[in-house]
């Protein structure tokens, strides 16, 4: 459903977007959910085009009921990733010849989390996710040429080890015998991260090491609503805001002589809107195709940074897929999730990206805690 879920409350999925949803799991259920993806991205700048292929581990999460009205979840999720390499060749003059600039980046941040959701009263649930973050990212610019004066390299690197805290709530209202409305909200706590970014400038004769102020997680806020009709049709919509505008332009200070380098990137608030639909003809039907869930979604994100006074890329995405029940001799609660997604990034006078992604997930949902009786 393209990442929508702040108001999604179902006992057969692990909805990490809102920890308040964990309290919906019943006492007989133990959930495990894993997913991977493969994608092809087309990059375009002017008349130049190139394709890149890669695959990713998406997540591995689980959930179970700890106590009456209290559900728990745990797992590992990616937080961010960096991966690119490209180069540009420029002819200077007959004396200095040509120069080649190579840009590359790698690494990313990961998170392991444990969360709990508590149904305080029939309509109201609250929840929290506590995550541990770790990882290293590196970005470099290497310049080489036929003259020694053209030789220069610049490397940015940072290692992070910190925490992440997210709160959520959900309010459920029964409209009538068939219709139900769920309102959800989340708050992500912003704070300073452990880890100091470094910048190393080097040429043929010397090198300097510069340090920037520590990284921060921004505050984030979200609100969403889900309408469920007759346990067959689910319509959901989310709106999120991330407070990137509270961050200053990055400044690197030379630890030897105190000189500084001011980057040209500035930040502004990020706004995201997502909508999704889930339809199952008849979840209790003996006919297999009527128990399949058909899903679609769409999303839009505004730019959250400026480079040299120009807005960064905005994002538009579409997705579609289905959940296939897996049948066995005991029950058919486990499902295979298959979806496809298209993501488009674009900005004026910048690289345009089109990503086509195939997602494959498996949700194990079995009645582990049922007691057998022999007549």
Segment 145-178, tens digit of pLDDT: 766 555 778 888 999 999 999 999 999 999 998 8
Bigger pLDDT: 343 vs 255: 343
Report d(CA 63, CA 305) in Å as an integer: 36
Q: What is the pTM of this model?
A: 0.89
pLDDT score of 232: 94
Percent of the chain at pLDDT > 70 equals: 91
Report d(CA 91, CA 103) in Å as an integer: 18
| pLDDT of 71 over the 90 cut | yes
175: region left, alpha or beta (phi > 0 left; psi from -120 to 50 alpha): alpha
| pLDDT of 112 over the 60 cut | yes
- pLDDT-based confidence at 373, cuts 50/70/90? low
| pLDDT of 142 over the 90 cut | no
pLDDT score of 153: 83
| pLDDT of 329 over the 60 cut | no
Q: 3-state class of 359 per DSSP?
A: strand
6: region left, alpha or beta (phi > 0 left; psi from -120 to 50 alpha): alpha
Report d(CA 89, CA 347) in Å as an integer: 23
Residue 375: Cβ within 10 Å count: 2
Across the range 66-81, mean pLDDT stands at: 93
Q: Delineate the domains of the chain, giving CATH numbers in brackets.
A: 19-367 (2.40.160.60)
Average pLDDT score, the chain:
88
**What 8-state DSSP symbol labels residue 17?**
T
Q: 3-state class of 246 per DSSP?
A: helix
């Amino acid at each position: 459903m393209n990442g929508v879920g702040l108001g999604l409350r179902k006992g057969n999925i692990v909805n990490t977007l809102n920890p308040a949803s964990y309290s919906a799991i019943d006492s007989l259920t133990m959930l495990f959910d894993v997913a991977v993806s493969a994608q092809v991205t087309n990059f375009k700048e002017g008349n130049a085009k190139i394709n890149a292929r890669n695959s990713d581990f998406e997540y591995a999460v689980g959930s179970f009921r700890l106590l009456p009205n209290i559900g728990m979840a745990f797992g590992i999720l990616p937080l961010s990733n960096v991966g690119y390499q490209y180069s540009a060749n420029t002819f200077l003059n007959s004396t200095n010849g040509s120069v080649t600039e190579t840009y590359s980046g790698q690494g990313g941040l990961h998170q392991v989390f444990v969360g709990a959701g508590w149904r305080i009263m029939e309509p109201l649930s609250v929840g929290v996710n506590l995550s541990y973050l770790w990882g290293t990212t590196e970005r470099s610019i290497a310049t080489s040429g036929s003259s020694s004066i053209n030789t220069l390299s610049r490397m940015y690197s940072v290692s992070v080890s910190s925490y992440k805290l997210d709160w959520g709530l959900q309010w459920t209202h029964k409209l009538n015998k068939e219709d139900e409305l769920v309102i959800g909200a989340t708050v992500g706590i912003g704070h300073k991260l452990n880890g100091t970014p470094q910048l190393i400038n080097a040429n043929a004769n010397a090198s300097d090491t510069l340090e920037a102020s520590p990284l921060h997680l921004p505050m984030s806020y979200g609100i969403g609503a889900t309408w469920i009709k007759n346990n067959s049709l689910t319509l959901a919509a989310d709106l999120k805001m991330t407070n990137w505008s509270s961050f200053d332009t990055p400044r690197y200070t030379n630890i030897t002589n105190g000189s500084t380098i001011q980057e040209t990137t500035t930040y502004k608030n990020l706004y995201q809107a997502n909508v999704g639909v889930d339809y199952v003809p008849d979840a209790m039907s003996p006919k297999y195709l009527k128990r399949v869930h058909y899903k679609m979604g769409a999303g839009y994100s505004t730019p959250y940074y400026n480079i040299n006074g120009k807005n960064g890329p905005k994002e538009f995405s579409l997705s579609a897929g289905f959940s296939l029940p897996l049948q066995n001799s005991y029950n058919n609660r486990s499902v295979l999730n298959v979806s496809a997604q298209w993501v488009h990034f674009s900005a004026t006078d910048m690289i345009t990206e089109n990503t086509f992604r195939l997602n494959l997930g498996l949700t194990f949902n079995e009645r582990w805690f049922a007691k057998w009786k022999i007549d």
